[in-house]
A and B are shown apart, each in its own frame.
Chain A
């Protein structure tokens, strides 16, 4: 079945780095645009980043620009989010999501929790 499984979350101190991974299965990963979406505890959803099917086009929300980088390895059916210079306000559940260009988010991972705290 179509599935996205995130990993890599955890507790990290402010200023440190973390890399999230998302393993895709059950669909043609290399043909699909992918996103990261986050949700701080008790709050709403925030789109974080997008990468095109072939990795040539990436976009990030302003609040993470220059700190976070989305990437993918189509040979491994895996999506990544490299998070540097983490801040307490980055604390959230991070979801990996399938979302081709001009198509809604139809497949979501279960999420991985990132806690930034000293």
Chain B
């Protein structure tokens, strides 16, 4: 079945550092790819998405590009802030025609001032 693998966490960075969180996937067909974020004490929020190969999703300074050849959707940000501290989830849907989201295990990010 479909699956998503994220880089192991937790990740700790200093403010203004460059961030990369790796995500690779296995899926049948042509899934849509997502990054969700979970801030402390809050629910899951969509951060960005890409629906086809070579699409780039972006939001709040975060970016991720749908790479079909490497089955990857790595999350990047050029300069992180303390407020970016959260748990980040990579997910896919539609790989087998199903609408459900299949999530990676999550990566906890802590940004120190």
A and B associate: no
Binding site for B on A (CB under 8 A): none
Binding site for A on B (CB under 8 A): none
